[in-house]
Amino acid sequence: MPAASVLYMIIPCYNEEEVLGETAVRLREKYQSLMAMSLISPRSHIVFVNDGSSDRTWDIITSLHAQQPELFSGIDLAHNAGHQNAVLAGLMTVRELCDIAISMDADLQDDINAIDEMVREYQKGNEVVYGVRKARKKDTLFKRLTAEGFYRVMQGMGTEIVYNHADFRLMSRRVLQELAGFREVNLFLRGMIPLIGFRSSCVYYERQERFAGKSKYPLRKMLSFAIDGITSFSVKPLKLISSFGLLMVAVSAAAFLWAFISKFFGNTEVGWSSTFCSIWLIGGMQLLCLGIIGEYVGKIYAEVKQRPRYIIAEFLHDEDPGTPGQSSQ
Ligand code: UDP
Ligand code: MG
């Protein structure tokens, strides 16, 4: 029987006062049963990362820590750094303290009962275990179509991502150490982890509805996350521009030929509409291409600045207390 692993759960929380209490209760029960089965060590923790919430989220985390400091820990980010950065902040803070870490959303959409199987998969020698949604019955049609379309586009762009896997995943300490070497500012964890490699497997679960509160990912954020994902991991859009340019050259050569033949046969009244339309079409396409290049230039700009990806204001933890006011990247 393998030794019980020290498991740290990383839960990013942005204005989650409505769900946090329930999430804590359910996770505590889960931890008790995992400890009773000797699947995880009694030194395991649940770490809530407060991502600059403006509601009572941090107060709730503080009181959970006060009630049960041996189980609940809290990381308070100095400002809203975004979901991906909040997850990374948690993972990097605990990487020396745990054997395995599991990241999970705060809203109970991910199935807590999949944790058992994830830990077992780790014990079988997998360094990464991806939580994969079986079906999206509980999602709205719109969310399902956009999300599934996104995974297909990503795969079409040549990025290695796990279909229907978001950020519910187990990672071993070794994977966390390797992740620390990725210095990029534009984070897209579900594309980065497969790049690390090591042996991995999947655990399938039914995605639930949000327990309470509203999604913190409105369409605007979802779109920018999708564009971020594609442009961080693929230069295919840039290559498409070149192919497109070539195509346009071919089209204009054909148009030239057509104009030449028309002139030759004395049929020269070329309508203004074709000129008018092509100017607009080409103008629009040039702008689109410039926009795509701009996306990449913007990314390079963000990367060269090398700003810290998150700043930790406070780390509430009883085993190895962090220095208050410490900052990390
Ligand atoms: N979240 C975060 N920072 C943000 C936005 C969201 O830490 O700026 C957290 C949020 O509290 C939740 C998780 O990220 O735990 C996923 O967000 P949400 O459930 O709103 O997204 P959805 O499931 O609707 O895609
Ligand atoms: Mg959610």
- Cα–Cα distance, 170 to 122 (Å, whole number): 8
Which atom number of ligand 1 is nearest to the Cα of residue 80?
Answer: 8
Residues facing residue 128 across a β-bridge: 171, 200
Check whether residue 301 and residue 314 sit in a common domain: no
Domain holding 59: CATH number? 3.90.550.10
pLDDT at 321: 43
What DSSP element (H or E) covers 314?
A: strand 312-316
Check whether residue 321 and residue 291 sit in a common domain: no
pTM of the model: 0.76
- Cα–Cα distance, 315 to 59 (Å, whole number): 14
What DSSP element (H or E) covers 108?
A: none
- Cα–Cα distance, 27 to 33 (Å, whole number): 10
Do the beta carbons of residue 12 and residue 77 sit within 8 Å? no
Looking at ligand 1, which residue's alpha carbon is closest to its atom 19? 215
Query: Which residue stretches of the chain have pLDDT < 50?
Result: 320-329
Contact 216 CB / ligand 1 (< 6 Å) = yes
Contact 82 CB / ligand 1 (< 6 Å) = yes
Contact 167 CB / ligand 1 (< 6 Å) = no
pLDDT at 143: 78
Contact 207 CB / ligand 1 (< 6 Å) = no
Check whether residue 291 and residue 190 sit in a common domain: no
Cα distances (angstroms) measured from residue 143 to each of 14, 54, 140, 296: 20, 26, 5, 27
Contact 86 CB / ligand 1 (< 6 Å) = yes
Distance in Å, CA 106 to ligand 2 centroid? 7
Q: Which residue range forms the structural domain that includes residue 261?
A: 233-305
Q: Report the DSSP pairing between strands 72-77 and 312-316.
A: antiparallel
3-class DSSP assignment, residue 27: helix
Domain count, the chain: 2
Is there a domain that residue 100 lies in? yes
Is there a domain that residue 16 lies in? yes
pLDDT at 277: 62
Distance in Å, CA 123 to ligand 2 centroid? 28
Check whether residue 131 and residue 186 sit in a common domain: yes
pLDDT at 32: 95
Eight-state DSSP code of residue 53:
-
Cα distances (angstroms) measured from residue 274 to each of 250, 262, 285: 17, 14, 16
pLDDT at 270: 61
